[in-house]
């Protein structure tokens, strides 16, 4: 009998470990009292409470977008918006409670820290429980804190930037985030400092029905550089989960920031995340984005190229399997002359999965000498799946050089034939091609993440694809 | 009697971000369309072809099912219920009509609206070419709303040419819908050159080994608004489509190009391609492109390419160093950009007319 091969679904056994559900405080529903309670628990300054209440008002006014994936399965009023785990902020690994620690151990975080990373910000449910940053960076003035602490310790800096890049009025889930945000990372890199080793935040949510609303705020000052890695995974539960995080990046003059993400939420998660960068003169933002998990994703990292010579690079891969709708892409606004953007998006759909590239490149009237290059490639592994490409080019100046290319197709028979003529089996040839398709993303990631990504796209080399 | 058009037009097959305001085109003001008979003769060479085909001038006696909303359901309905002109043609099986049928509408103060409803049925292995030419008198506020439905039966070839060169006060809405049966072909050449508002919509269902080739040209200057939409539904195996769009934008012209390849499940071995190139001549233009690629079938090939930019300064410098002034040099470059589409028009006189319109506009006359 002929053996069948298939591209394996992501093996989730590692990620689907549930711990006993324990909490010291939780809230149901979404109203003003809940917001006041969250703020009081956090002992926040008054302006933040006011900000939360204002955002709640906006949330109730805005509608759910009429475009994009179906998110009607999401019942927001039944989502426990905030779950505080039974531990306070810890500075050393030894202080972290055993069950929480075990979860992290299984995800390989401490090893990662020792081997590769400058600091670890691990988020357990909604509260940051573990945080460290290497001593030499602290001496250089690099600040790496959980967001809740930053609000108190660096109040002025936070207040000046918090949800200024992504205002709560942006869309319904940004407003929700503004109202109930909790945890996340705050990074400040002073002028001229090059952070050589990637900073990593590995967080996960754990409580049934818990929303994850972490806020990431990164400021890279003039001439400084940083590589920040965000990774997420969550155990699988029957209750639908919502992730509505927010990432705000400020890249100052001549600064460089690479923001890498492997999103690997469990397949019941609605991942409605908002990420945005404002890039000043000659600054660079690089987005590396891998989307593998979640039931529904709507994720479009946005770059606002505000200063002359600013640049944005986006490299993204999306792998949609059974019962997944992954609607991802990027938005670029060229708001100044001599700005450049490069977009390289790839997607794979299999077993009824739906992957969508959705993006826009907008050139404002004053932005002359703009260059933009967009490439979207999709691979369908069977005909139960879907793959859609929905790009927009919106050009309001004539001194531009814009090119867009999109391709969809199957694995080419000619290539298979060629590889087979070199003595490679058909099955192996197909597997090689799928791996090769994802290669441009993998090579942009640190080794550990590349390995994780390759595991996610792990191919079983027996049988045929599709 | 007149009707008022107020519905948004050219809604995208799938919606995207609202802040771009590109999901549909909202009319800046309601447009009144007078309904009264069209008085002029409009088929130039009726005698030459009427022996070969069944032809009737006037709206179709039968209504066939529409393939979509067209420009808008309101405008499509208007052509179905209140057309003041149109032709219905049945080309018998195996009949090849060599000479293009020329249909020309001239709108002016007396004939201030053309609401045409055309039905073309090409029976098996037949062939026909139709050229529609819409023009208007200077300063006449006129409106054209058209619906052209095509049924290309197996092995037939239908060529449609649509030239719109109306004056600055004109409004143009035009929907073309083609059901292309196995091994049949429909070729569309469309040139949008005039009017203050020009909105066109082409939708086609491609069955097994059916093919459609589209050559689209637009020239926008002054304050013209152009919104063109193409939707290729690949339904059958081995169905193919190719779209080439060439455009030039000048002054404060605004253009939205919406091109969709939709590979339905089951359309294995289908291939579709779309290429758009826009030449931008002034910093005040607006060029929007939404090239959609929708796919529910594994075994297909689809590709899109869109690019836009100013012309190469070296090119201009070279031409000027050869003694051309800037306007002449610009004319040459524009001609080079548009000629691949203009050259496809099967009528020398119209090719010349189009070139002249463009040259005049570039000179600012």
Asked whether residue B93 is domain-assigned, the answer is yes
Tell me, yes or no, whether B271 lies in a domain.
Answer: yes
- Sort out which chain A residues have CB atoms less than 8 A from B308's CB and list them: 393, 395, 400, 402
Tell me, what's the pLDDT at B45?
Answer: 83
Q: Quick check: A392 and B288 CB within 8 A?
A: yes
Residue A39 to residue A77: CA distance in whole angstroms: 19
pLDDT number for residue B47: 83
For the stretch B300-351, pLDDT in tens is 999 999 999 887 778 888 888 888 888 888 888 999 899 999 999 999 999 9
Residues above pLDDT 70, as percent of chain B: 100
The alpha carbon of residue A303 is apart from the nearest alpha carbon of chain B, in Å, by: 16
Instruction: Report phi then psi at A98, rounded to 5.
Output: -60, -45
The answer to whether residue B341 is domain-embedded is no
- How close, in Å, is residue B17 to chain A by CA atoms? 7
Q: Which pLDDT belongs to residue B263?
A: 97
Q: Between chains, do A383 and B296 touch, taking CB under 8 Å as contact?
A: yes
Strands (E), A64-104: 83-84
- Of residues B15, B265, B287, nearest to A395 (C-beta): B287
Rounded to 10 deg, the angle between the A413-421 and A426-442 helix axes is: 110
Residues of A in contact with B307 (CB under 8 A): 402-404
Q: Is residue B317 part of a domain?
A: no
Name beta bridge partners: B205: B179, B233
A399–B14 CB contact, under 8 Å: no
**Alpha-carbon gap: A370 to the closest alpha carbon of chain B (Å):** 10
Whole-number pLDDT of residue A78: 63
pLDDT, average across residues A238-266 = 86
Chain B positions touching A334 (Cβ under 8 A) are none
The Cα–Cα gap between A229 and A120 comes to 10
| C-alpha dist (Å) from residue A141 to A132, A135, A186, A189, A195 | 14, 10, 13, 7, 11
Quickly list DSSP for A298-359: EE--EEEE-STT-EEEEEEEEEE-TT-EEEE--EEEE-STT-EEEEEEEEEE-TT-EEEEEE
Q: Give, as one character, the DSSP assignment of residue A458.
A: P
What pLDDT does residue A111 have?
Answer: 54
- Contact state of A404 with B16 under an 8 Å Cβ cutoff: no
Mutant choice from B247, B269, B279, B295 vs A, greatest count of A C-beta within 10 A: B295
Q: Identify all chain B residues contacting A398, using CB atoms and an 8 Å cutoff.
A: 249, 280-283, 285, 309-310
Instruction: Please count the CA atoms within 13 angstroms of the CA of A153 that sit on its side-chain side.
Output: 11
Contact at CB, A386 and B284, closer than 8 angstroms:
no
Which pLDDT score, from 0 to 100, does residue A20 have? Answer: 55
What is the reported pLDDT for B312? 77
- pLDDT at A384 exceeding the cut of 60: yes
Quick check: B304 and A392 CB within 8 A? no
Asked whether residue B279 is domain-assigned, the answer is yes
In a domain, B165, yes or no: yes
Say yes or no for a CB contact (<8 Å) between A404 and B300. no
Residue of B nearest to A389 (CA): B293
Q: What does the pLDDT read at residue A77?
A: 62
Are A358 and B16 an interchain contact pair (Cβ–Cβ within 8 Å)?
yes
Q: How far is B235 from chain A (nearest CA, A)?
A: 14
| Residue among B17, B282, B295 minimizing CB distance to A67 | B17
Measure in Å the smallest separation between the Cα of A339 and chain B Cα atoms: 15
Q: How many CB pairs under 8 A join A and B?
A: 144
CA of B128: how far to CAs of A446, B118, B189, in Å? 62, 14, 14
Q: Is the pLDDT of residue A258 over 70?
A: yes
Predicted pLDDT at A18: 54
Please count the other Cβ atoms lying within 10 Å of the Cβ belonging to residue A287. 22
State both tokens at A347: 């997607």
Report the number of distinct structural domains present in chain B: 1
Asked whether residue B142 is domain-assigned, the answer is yes
- Cα–Cα distance for residue pair B73/A103, rounded to 1 Å: 57
Whether the Cβ atoms of residue A294 and residue A73 lie closer than 8 Å to each other:
no
Residue at B89 is within a domain = yes
How many other C-beta atoms lie within 10 A of the C-beta of residue B187?
19
Containing structural domain, residue B113 = 2-311
Least confident piece of the model among A127-131, A162-166, A184-188: A127-131
- Picking from A36-45, B137-146, B243-252, which range would have the lowest pLDDT averaged per residue? A36-45
Contact B299 A383 (CB under 8 A): yes
Rounded to a whole number of angstroms, the distance from the CA of A179 to the nearest CA of chain B is 23
CB contact under 8 A, A390 and B14: yes
**Integer Cα distance of B288 and B307 in angstroms:** 11
Q: pLDDT at position A429, please?
A: 80
Displacement of CA B220 from its chain's centroid (Å): 14
**Who among A331, A399, A403 is closest to B283 (CB)?**
A399
Nearest by CB to B304, from A396, A398, A405: name it: A405
> pLDDT (tens digit, 9 = 90+) per residue, A317-362?
998 988 999 999 999 999 999 999 999 999 989 889 999 999 999 9
- B311 Cα to chain A: minimum distance (Å): 9
Q: Residue A77: CB partners within 8 Å, gap ≥ 6? A: A29, A30
Q: Which of A68, A347, A409, A329 is nearest to B261 (CA)?
A: A409
Q: Do B293 and A409 touch (CB under 8 A)?
A: no
pLDDT at residue B33 greater than cutoff 60: yes
Nearest CB to B307; choose among A65, A404, A407: A404
pLDDT of residue A453: 66
Nearest residue, CB atoms, B300 vs list A365, A389, A409 = A409
ipTM: 0.93
Helix (H/G/I), strand (E/B), else coil: A176 = helix
- Which letter does DSSP use for residue A170 in this model? G
CA distance B136 to chain A (A): 30
Nearest alpha-carbon partner for A450 in A434, A435, A465 = A435
Residues of B in CB contact (< 8 Å) with A are 14-18, 20, 22-23, 249, 263, 265-266, 268, 280-310
- Calpha distance B239→A260 (Å, rounded): 41
pTM assigned to the model: 0.89
How does residue A312 score in pLDDT terms, banded at 50, 70 and 90? very high
């Amino acid at each position: 009998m002929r053996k069948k091969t298939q591209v394996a679904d992501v093996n989730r056994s590692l990620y689907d470990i549930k711990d006993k559900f324990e909490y010291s405080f939780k809230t149901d529903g979404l109203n003003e009292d809940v917001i006041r309670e969250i703020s009081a628990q956090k002992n926040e300054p008054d302006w933040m409470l006011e900000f939360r209440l204002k955002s709640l008002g906006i949330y109730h006014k805005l509608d759910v977008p009429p475009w994009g994936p179906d998110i009607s399965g999401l019942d927001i009023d039944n989502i426990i918006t905030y779950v505080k785990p039974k531990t306070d902020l810890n500075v050393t690994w030894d202080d972290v409670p055993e069950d929480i620690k075990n979860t992290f151990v299984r995800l390989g975080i401490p090893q990662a820290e020792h081997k590769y990373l400058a600091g670890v910000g691990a988020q357990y449910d909604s509260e940051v429980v573990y945080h460290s940053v290497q001593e030499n960076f602290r001496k250089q003035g690099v600040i790496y804190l959980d967001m809740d602490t930053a609000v108190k310790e660096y109040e002025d800096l936070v207040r000046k930037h918090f949800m200024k890049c992504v205002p709560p009025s942006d869309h319904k889930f940004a407003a929700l985030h503004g109202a109930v945000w909790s945890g996340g990372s705050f990074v400040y890199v002073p002028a001229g400092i090059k952070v050589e080793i990637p900073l990593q935040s590995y967080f996960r949510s754990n409580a049934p029905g818990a929303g994850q609303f972490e806020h990431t705020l990164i400021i890279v000052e003039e001439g400084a550089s940083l590589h920040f890695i965000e990774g997420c995974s969550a155990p699988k539960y029957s209750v639908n989960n919502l992730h509505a995080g927010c990432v705000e990046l400020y890249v100052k003059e001549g600064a460089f920031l690479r923001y890498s993400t492997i999103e690997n939420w469990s397949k019941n998660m609605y991942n409605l995340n908002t990420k945005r960068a404002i890039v000043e003169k000659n600054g660079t933002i690089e987005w590396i984005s891998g989307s593998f998990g979640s039931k529904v994703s709507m994720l479009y990292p946005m770059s606002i190229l505000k200063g002359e010579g600013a640049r944005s690079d986006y490299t993204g891969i999306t792998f949609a399997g059974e019962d997944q709708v992954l609607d991802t892409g990027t938005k670029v606004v060229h708001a100044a002359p001599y700005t450049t953007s490069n977009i390289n998006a790839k997607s794979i759909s299999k077993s009824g999965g739906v992957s969508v590239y959705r993006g826009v490149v907008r050139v404002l009237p004053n932005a002359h000498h703009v260059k933009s290059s967009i490439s979207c490639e999709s691979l369908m592994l069977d005909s139960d799946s879907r793959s859609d490409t929905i790009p927009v080019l919106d050009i309001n100046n004539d001194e531009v050089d814009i090119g867009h290319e999109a391709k969809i197709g199957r694995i080419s028979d000619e290539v298979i034939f060629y590889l087979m003529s070199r003595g490679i089996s058909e099955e192996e040839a197909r597997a090689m091609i799928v791996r090769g398709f994802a290669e441009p993303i993998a090579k942009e990631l640190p080794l550990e993440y590349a390995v994780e990504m390759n595991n996610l796209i792990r191919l079983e080399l027996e049988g045929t694809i599709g | 009697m007149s009707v008022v058009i107020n519905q948004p037009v050219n809604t995208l097959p799938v919606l995207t971000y609202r802040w771009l305001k590109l999901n549909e085109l909202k009319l800046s003001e309601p447009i009144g369309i007078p309904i009264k008979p069209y008085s002029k003769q409009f088929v130039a060479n009726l005698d030459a072809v009427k022996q070969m085909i069944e032809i009737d001038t006037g709206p179709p006696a039968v209504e066939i099912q529409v393939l979509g909303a067209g420009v808008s359901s309101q405008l499509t309905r208007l052509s179905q219920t209140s057309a003041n002109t149109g032709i219905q043609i049945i080309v018998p099986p195996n009949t090849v009509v060599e000479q293009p049928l020329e249909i020309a509408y001239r709108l002016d103060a007396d004939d201030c609206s053309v609401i045409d409803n055309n039905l073309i049925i090409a029976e098996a292995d037949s062939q026909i070419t139709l050229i529609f030419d819409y023009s208007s008198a200077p300063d006449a506020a006129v409106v054209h709303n058209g619906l052209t439905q095509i049924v290309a039966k197996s092995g037939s070839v239908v060529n449609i040419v649509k030239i719109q060169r109306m004056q600055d006060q004109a409004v143009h809405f035009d929907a073309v819908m083609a059901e292309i049966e196995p091994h049949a072909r429909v070729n569309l050449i469309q040139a949008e050159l005039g009017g203050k508002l020009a909105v066109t919509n082409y939708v086609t269902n491609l069955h097994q080994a059916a093919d459609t080739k589209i050559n689209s040209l637009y020239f926008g200057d002054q304050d013209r608004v152009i919104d063109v939409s193409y939707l290729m539904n690949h339904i059958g195996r081995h169905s193919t489509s190719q779209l080439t769009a060439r455009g030039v934008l000048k002054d404060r012209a605004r253009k939205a190009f919406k091109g969709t390849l939709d590979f339905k499940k089951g359309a294995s071995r289908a291939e579709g391609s779309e290429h758009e190139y826009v030449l931008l001549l002034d910093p005040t233009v607006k060029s929007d492109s939404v090239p959609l690629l929708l796919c529910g079938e594994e075994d297909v090939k689809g590709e899109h390419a869109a690019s836009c930019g100013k012309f190469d300064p070296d090119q201009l410098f070279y031409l000027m160093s050869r003694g051309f002034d800037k306007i002449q040099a610009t004319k040459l470059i524009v001609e080079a950009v548009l000629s691949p589409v203009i050259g496809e028009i099967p009528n020398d006189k119209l090719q010349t007319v189009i070139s002249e319109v463009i040259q005049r506009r570039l000179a600012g006359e």
